[in-house]
Amino acid sequence: MNGHDSELMESVLISSGFQRVDSEAAANIVILNTCSVREQAEHKAIGRLQQLARRKALEKNFYLGVSGCMAQNLGLELFRRVPALDFAIAPGSIYAIGEVLKRLEHGEKQIFLANGDIETFAEDDTNFCRRKITRVSAFVTIANGCNMNCAYCIVPKTRGRETCRPINNIMHEVQFLVANGVKEIILGGQIVNFYGIRKIPFENGKSPFVQLLEKIHTIDGLERIRFLSPHPSGFRDDLIRSYSDLPKLCPHVHFPIQSGSDRILRAMRRSYTRRMALEILGNLRRSIPAMAISTDLIVGFPGEMEEDFHQTEQLFNEIDFDMAFIFKYSPRAGTSAAAMGNQIPKIISEERNQILLKRLAVTSLRRNQLFLNSHQSVLVEASSAKDPRILWGYTPHHKKVFFPAPEKMIGKIVDVKITRITTCALTGTLASE
Ligand code: 5AD
Ligand code: SF4
C-alpha cells in the first residue's frame, strides 16, 4: 500500500505542476513515505531525515516532508525530533500533498495533517484520473485502516478505523485503468475480504467482497485480478468458489497466518485456529490446480516457547508455501504485546527466522518444480535491468519468469515454455506471440 501511496502522491504533485527529477540531489522537495510496522524502519527513516535536514541549512528553496504511518504514529513529536521538517502527512490525508506544498510556499511552517483531516473515499472522487500509468499491473485501493486489534500491530493506530471505498468508485477507477492499457489489477486494503461487511448486505450467500470481485470481473479488457491481503477469519466458501467461478482471478493467495501455534494465535488475538487455517488452505489446494500460497509469519512473539515454534515448523511442512515473509517480532509502543512479559531474546528470534528461511528455500523450490517444462501465460512487465534482451513478467500463480524476447512484447500476455527453475524465479523460452 505504501508503494501505491507514493505513486498517488507523485501523480497529485505532477498534476499540481511539479516535476519528477532523477536524483535526490536534484530535488527541491524530498518526501519520505514511511512504514511503522517494525521499529527498525522508523529508526532508519529518522536517520535519513536528520541527514536530509542538513540540506535545509544550506539550500533556501528546499522542503522536507514525511508521509505515511510514521506521520500518524509520531505526530507532532516528529517536528521535535527533526526540527527542520516542513510537513508530516498521515496516510489518510496524502491526497492533500499539493495543497500542503502551496501552503509552504505561502510561508506556513511545520504543517501536520492527521488521518481524517481530509475526506477520503468520496463517492464521486476522480483523483484516480491523475494517476500516471507506468505498468500493465496496477494497485487499486478498496479499503483503508483496520478494526482488528492484533496484539503486535501498530496499523490500527497509524491507518485508523477501517473505511471502505464505494463500489462504483472502484469500478470507475478500474475502467479508467483498463482503458489506459492496464491488464491486471491488485485490489488492496488491510483486510480485503472484510470489504463492506458492515454496509453492504450478503447476496445469495456472497460477501460484499465476492460481489465486488464479480463486478470487476465483468470489465472487458481486464485480464487478471489479484488481491492483498485477506484475513484468515472470514475466508469463506464463497471466496474459495470464486477462484473456480471467475477465470480472471489468479490462482495465488497471500494468506497471513502469523503462527502455527494456537496458543500464540490466541495471544496475538488472531481469531482463528491453526485447524481453521489449514482447512481453508486445504480446500483451496484441492479445488484450484497448483494453487500458490504465500504467507506472513512472525517469530519470537512474546511467550513463544520451543513447542510453539515447533508447531509453526510443522505448519511449514504441511503447507509447502510458495513464498513466506518471515518477520522477527518487533515491539511497538502502544500495542498490547509490547507490554507483555516473556519477551523473546533477539538471538532466539534470529535462530527461528533462519530455520524457517532454510525450510522456505526447500518448499519454494519444490513448488516451482511443478512448473518445469510446462507452458505458462506470462504478463510481460519490463526488460531486465541487467540485459535488455531479457524480459520478465508473472504467471497467473505469481511466479516471476525471465525469458529472451523483443521489447515490443512488454505489456502483452505471452506463452512461455519453462526450461529452468530456482527458488525465486523461473526461466523459459517464448513459445508464441
Ligand atoms: N513485529 C513483526 N512483524 C510484524 N508485522 C506486523 N506487526 C509486526 C511486529 N510488531 C508483520 C505481520 C504482518 C506484516 C505486514 O508485518 O506479519 O502480516
Ligand atoms: Fe494489523 Fe491485524 Fe489489522 Fe492486519 S488484521 S493490519 S495484522 S491489526
Instruction: State whether 108 and 134 are in the same domain.
Output: no
Is residue 118 in some structural domain?
Answer: no
The residues, ordered by sequence, that sit 6+ positions from 263 with a Cβ below 8 Å of its Cβ are 303, 308
User: Which CATH number is 51's domain given?
Assistant: 3.40.50.12160
Is the CB–ligand 2 distance for residue 155 below 6 Å?
yes
| Mutation choice for ligand 1 from 298, 328, 352, CB with most ligand atoms inside 8 A | 298
Instruction: State whether 184 and 270 are in the same domain.
Output: yes
Q: Does residue 100 surpass a pLDDT of 60? A: yes
Cβ–Cβ < 8 Å for 313, 260 = yes
Last residue in a domain, options 317, 337, 369: 369
Instruction: State whether 402 and 417 are in the same domain.
Output: yes
Pairwise pLDDT comparison (3 vs 302), residue with the higher score? 302
Instruction: State whether 71 and 15 are in the same domain.
Output: yes
pLDDT, position 290 = 93
Instruction: State whether 277 and 135 are in the same domain.
Output: yes
Which residue, among 239, 253, 247, 149, has the nearest Cα to 195 in the 3D structure?
239
User: Which CATH number is 219's domain given?
Assistant: 3.80.30.20
pLDDT tens digits along 230-267: 999 989 999 999 999 999 999 999 999 999 999 999 99
Determine which helix (DSSP H) or strand (DSSP E) holds 324, and give its type and residue range: strand 323-328
pLDDT, position 81 = 94
Last residue in a domain, options 354, 369, 384: 369
C-alpha neighbours within 13 Å on the C-beta side of residue 34: 31
Task: Determine the atom of ligand 1 nearest the C-alpha atom of 153.
Answer: 7
Show the cell assigned to 57: 541549512
Task: Determine the atom of ligand 2 nearest the C-alpha atom of 153.
Answer: 1
Instruction: State whether 153 and 275 are in the same domain.
Output: yes
pLDDT tens digits along 317-362: 899 999 999 999 999 999 999 999 999 999 999 999 999 999 999 9
Strands of 82-141, DSSP E? 87-89, 111-113, 137-141
Task: Determine the atom of ligand 2 nearest the C-alpha atom of 147.
Answer: 3
Number of domains in the chain: 3
Show the cell assigned to 415: 506463452
- Of the listed ranges 76-80, 136-140, 158-162, the least confidently predicted one is 158-162
In whole angstroms, give the CA distance from residue 160 to residue 148.
10
Is the CB–ligand 2 distance for residue 153 below 6 Å?
yes
Task: Determine the atom of ligand 2 nearest the C-alpha atom of 269.
Answer: 2
Q: Does residue 420 surpass a pLDDT of 90? A: yes
Which residues span the domain enclosing 59? 2-113
Instruction: State whether 184 and 262 are in the same domain.
Output: yes
pLDDT, position 95 = 86
Q: Does residue 123 surpass a pLDDT of 90? A: no
Instruction: State whether 227 and 328 are in the same domain.
Output: yes
Which residue, among 171, 169, 242, has the nearest Cα to 205 in the 3D structure?
242
The single-letter code of the amino acid at 20 is R
Is residue 120 in some structural domain?
Answer: no
- Taking the centre of ligand 2 as the mean of its atom positions, its distance from the CA of residue 231, in whole angstroms, is 8
Give the burial class of 230: count Cβ atoms within 10 A of its Cβ; 0-12 exposed, 13-18 middle, 19 or more buried: buried
- Taking the centre of ligand 2 as the mean of its atom positions, its distance from the CA of residue 196, in whole angstroms, is 17
pLDDT, position 432 = 62
Neighbours of 168 (CB within 10 A): 11
Is residue 107 in some structural domain?
Answer: yes
State the pTM of this model.
0.94
Give the burial class of 204: count Cβ atoms within 10 A of its Cβ; 0-12 exposed, 13-18 middle, 19 or more buried: exposed
Which residue lies with its CA nearest to atom 5 of ligand 2? 148
Is the CB–ligand 2 distance for residue 148 below 6 Å?
yes
Task: Determine the atom of ligand 1 nearest the C-alpha atom of 154.
Answer: 7
Per cent of the chain over pLDDT 70 is 100
pLDDT tens digits along 211-240: 999 999 999 999 999 999 999 998 999 999
| Mutation choice for ligand 2 from 72, 155, 272, CB with most ligand atoms inside 8 A | 155
Instruction: State whether 83 and 162 are in the same domain.
Output: no
User: Which CATH number is 397's domain given?
Assistant: 2.40.50.140
Phi, psi of 430 (to 5 degrees): -65, 130
In whole angstroms, give the CA distance from residue 65 to residue 34.
11
Instruction: State whether 143 and 225 are in the same domain.
Output: yes
Instruction: State whether 29 and 177 are in the same domain.
Output: no
Is the CB–ligand 1 distance for residue 337 below 6 Å?
no
DSSP state of 203: B
Instruction: State whether 90 and 149 are in the same domain.
Output: no
Q: Does residue 417 surpass a pLDDT of 90? A: yes
Is the CB–ligand 2 distance for residue 146 below 6 Å?
yes
Cell 527541491 belongs to which residue?
28
Overall size of the chain counted in residues: 433
Tell me whether strands 413-421 and 426-432 are parallel, antiparallel or unpaired.
Answer: antiparallel
Paired with 140 in beta bridges are 187
pLDDT tens digits along 274-298: 999 999 999 999 999 899 999 999 9
Last residue in a domain, options 340, 369, 398: 369
Per cent of the chain over pLDDT 90 is 85
